[in-house]
């Protein structure tokens, strides 16, 4: 998938602890894929999905007394239902959680519950464990999660519980007391924001019967968040007494979720599966979106562009349709046309870094040197908004190189390696940049800072 829509470059977000945690997650998932001979798991970047999660979650974070900009939410490409908090205020959600949610309220309930773990200080020991546990313990835990998500539940649990069960007790599993506390906190947050708790109950109802299943058949959420019918009954009783129990989600949130589900199915499922799920007889907007993506995956770029153009005609103010069109065109080698589509998306939704990176990448790929400066300026703005996106720095380095500015190309390559967690490579490129930059300049100072970064403790 591309760097602009459903990006699987395994990059981190803006917090340093989150970056190092994600680096470990991605390395481990790659190892699992190698050993299990399965399709690669990865972190997914998508502007449309990230915006939806941010919009529905920010009121919950505020209700919990958190700074929304300090909470990072990451998507993991896995069909199972799961969400967990790790390494600080970092919420991880499987794509399957979104795909299997019927309403935004279910997703909000999950986010409220995970927020309850953060505000309840349930993470203190886990954060310290990530910082102080041995590398084998951390890798064993994450490798176990990856194996479980790939369907090798028995192997995954063995990896998680191996080595004196440090990983399971210190990094993953919540106690029933913590779960009950997070449940009540979640309902508090929902009531403070005037929202129903029915989604949280219905989400847990989907999972409650799985406790009797074998570990191979369970969703990971059941293993990390102990469930019981008594616990759900307690939740249901409080929800029934809430004055907000019958509050419905805003219609625009339901529409956004339906579109995101279609998009995820389109990108993640095989095209044949997508066409069965969204047949031609279904002329709803989500179905048309999913089919356009499926045609792109075949690949049949012309048919994909025709389908998405029909959606653009109906919804000219939707930036994500233009973004997808840009991705499909770019990946078929039609950089000039891709740049036009990305530019349209950027006009509709300015300062969105993933869209900006797509536009910059398309401009660089045109090979038109007169457009290199434009691409470089766009990419500089994108990397100022989001500092830890390796792909953005890689393309920015190419733009600098095309302009003949080798020291800045070296600095951007150093930044790329910092964002990807490759500190030895980052330091080598920073040293190269320092040799060509004016000593004491802001760029030189940044290169010097990179050369002094110390690896995290393990």
Residue 458, exposed/middle/buried by CB under 10 A (0-12, 13-18, 19+)?
middle
Please tell me the least confidently modeled range out of 33-37, 156-160, 196-200: 33-37
What pLDDT was estimated at residue 227? Answer: 64
Confidence of residue 455 (pLDDT cuts 50, 70, 90): confident
Q: What is the mean pLDDT of the chain?
A: 82
Pairing of strands 83-85, 90-94: antiparallel
Tell which CATH classification among 3.30.2010.10, 2.60.40.10, 3.40.47.10, 3.30.70.2740 matches the domain 16-250.
3.30.2010.10
Residue 34, pLDDT > 80, answer no
In the prediction, which pLDDT does 84 show? Answer: 81
User: Do the beta carbons of residue 360 and residue 393 sit within 8 Å?
Assistant: no
Q: Is the pTM of this model over 0.75?
A: yes
pLDDT at 206: 81
Taking only the tens place, the pLDDT of each residue in 387-443 is 878 999 999 999 999 999 999 999 999 999 988 878 899 999 999 999 999 999 999
Task: Give mean pLDDT, residues 8-16.
Answer: 40
């Amino acid at each position: 998938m591309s760097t602009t829509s459903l990006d699987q470059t395994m990059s981190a977000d803006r917090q340093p602890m989150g970056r190092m945690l994600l680096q470990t997650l991605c390395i481990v998932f790659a190892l699992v894929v190698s050993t299990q001979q399965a399709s690669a798991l990865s972190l997914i970047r998508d502007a449309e999905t990230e915006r939806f999660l941010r919009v529905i979650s920010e009121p919950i974070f505020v209700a919990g007394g958190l700074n929304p900009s300090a909470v990072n939410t990451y998507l993991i490409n896995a069909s199972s239902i799961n969400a967990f908090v790790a390494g600080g205020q970092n919420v991880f959600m499987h794509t399957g959680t979104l795909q299997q949610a019927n309403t935004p309220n279910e997703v909000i309930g999950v986010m409220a519950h995970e927020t309850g773990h953060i505000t309840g200080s349930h993470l203190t020991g886990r954060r310290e464990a990530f910082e102080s546990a041995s590398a084998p313990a951390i890798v064993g835990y994450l490798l176990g999660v990856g194996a479980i998500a790939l369907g090798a539940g028995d192997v995954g649990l063995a990896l998680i519980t191996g080595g004196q069960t440090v990983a399971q007790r210190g990094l993953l599993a919540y106690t029933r007391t913590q779960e009950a506390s997070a449940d009540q906190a979640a309902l508090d947050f929902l009531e403070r924001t005037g929202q129903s708790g029915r989604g949280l109950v219905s989400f847990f109802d989907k999972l409650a019967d799985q406790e009797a299943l074998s570990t191979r058949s369970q969703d990971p959420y059941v293993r990390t968040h102990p469930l019981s019918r008594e616990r759900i009954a307690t939740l249901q009783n409080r929800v029934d007494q809430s004055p907000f129990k019958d509050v419905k989600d805003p219609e625009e949130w339901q529409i956004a979720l339906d579109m995101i589900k279609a998009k995820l199915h389109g990108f993640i499922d095989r095209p044949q599966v997508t066409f069965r799920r969204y047949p031609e007889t279904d002329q709803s907007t989500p179905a048309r979106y999913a089919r356009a993506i499926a045609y792109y995956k075949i690949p049949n770029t012309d048919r994909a562009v025709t389908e998405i153009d029909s959606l653009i005609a109906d919804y000219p103010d939707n930036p994500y349709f233009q973004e997808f069109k840009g991705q499909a065109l770019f990946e078929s080698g039609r950089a000039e046309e891709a740049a036009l589509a990305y530019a349209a998306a950027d006009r509709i939704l300015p300062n969105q870094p993933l869209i900006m990176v797509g536009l910059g990448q398309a401009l660089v790929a045109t090979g038109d040197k007169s457009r290199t400066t434009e691409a470089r300026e766009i990419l500089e703005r994108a990397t100022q908004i989001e500092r830890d996106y390796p792909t953005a720095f890689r393309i920015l380095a190419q733009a600098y190189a095309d302009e003949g500015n080798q020291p800045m190309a070296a600095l951007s390559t150093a930044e790329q390696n910092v964002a990807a967690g490759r500190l030895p490579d980052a330091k080598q490129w920073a040293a190269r940049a320092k040799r060509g930059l004016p000593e004491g300049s802001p760029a030189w100072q940044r290169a010097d800072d990179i050369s002094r970064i110390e690896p995290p403790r393990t």
